[in-house]
Amino acid sequence: MGGGMANAFRNLAACAAALWLAAADAAPNPACPNGPVSIAYFDYGAAYHEGKGYDVETLHELVKRMGCPIQSDAEYPRIRVLKLLEIGQADLSASTTVTPERQRYLWMLPYHYTKNLVLLRPGAQAETLDDLLKIPDLRWGMVRGYRHGPAGDKMLEELARQGKVAVAANDDDLYKMVCGGVVTAVFGIPISYDPWLSAHPNCQRIVIRDMFPDSETSPGAIVLSKQRFSQQAAELWQAELRRMFRDGSIRAIMLRYYSAPAVDKLLKSLGD
């Protein structure tokens, strides 16, 4: 009788342990409580092009470390990526400029820093922004959804009111427009236009100027949809991203696309 009771208790304990383990296995990962994640990319030079780029490598490594399976990897127009994130139909993206408007619906985790410079069509005569804005047939190219800092965005709004803005589909289209003289000027950042110019030697006559010398570098961020992640979950991703910075993973990824001096300019400490 005693032996039977002991066996029964052992069986009950084993069943309880099995149920506990099953429940633990079924418990959601706090880093991705809604299950597998959807990543939305946009064409952006070395960051992402035709399924490859440092954003792909960075996000895949980060997602792997967080223990979150990937449900989908897909490319969309830039403005569509932002909308998908805003309404919770995408979980993650990258290379997104931090703005107060975007912080309303995104958790933003900076991982590189850069600055918008002005690319002028071959033959354009302008040393300063004032010179450029005085060109009678001025047309400025832009990609809808991009941000260029407060001063740059304000200028583009005014030029748009004057009918002097032409919209490009993506960076490739944008740089072709300025190279071919379709537009007078465009904004661009080195991590985007450097590899493009290297691949298009016939466009080396494009002139590059810093026409907003007082503007600071702006952060590019990995972003998480607030519709899909709580603040607590976002903090877990931020902590792991900092570990990737400290252990050299982000730098190693960037070095596959840029020279060491260029990477030094891109990266600032995420561990401070």
Q: All domains of the chain, ordered by start, with CATH?
A: 37-114+218-266 (3.40.190.10), 117-209 (3.40.190.10)
Mean pLDDT of 194-201: 90
Higher pLDDT, 5 or 89: 89
Whole-number Å distance between alpha carbons of 15 and 108: 44
pLDDT at position 133: 97
Residues 6+ apart with CB under 8 A from 55: 41, 44, 47, 48, 94, 95
Query: Which of 58-62, 136-140, 195-199, 246-250 has the least mean pLDDT?
Result: 195-199
What is this structure's pTM? 0.75
pLDDT at position 268: 66
Task: Give the pLDDT band of residue 9 (cuts 50, 70, 90).
Answer: very low
When the pLDDT of each residue in the chain is averaged and rounded to a whole number, the result is: 89
Task: Give the pLDDT band of residue 36 (cuts 50, 70, 90).
Answer: very high
